[in-house]
Amino acid sequence: MTLAEVIDDHFLAKYRTLLDAEDAAFDELEHAFEEGDRAHFEADLSAWKQAIERKLAYLQRLGVSVTSVAIG
């Protein structure tokens, strides 16, 4: 299946939701970092990593080739 065959309105809506979740998690991480709140930073870092993993897993399930990225 080609990438063009995978992308449709449902794909874009789901992917946008995953991107929004990743963005929100990163915003929380950024705030914890700026405030020097180590406990929240660790929790927010974990949440951000999970959001990225969900996004990558979604793409892989649809057969979109994703280069492995090491996070932390």
Predicted model pTM: 0.79
pLDDT, residue 64, reads 82
Gap between the terminal Cα atoms of the chain: 32
* Mean per-residue pLDDT, 35-52: 96
Hey, where are the domains in the chain? 3-61
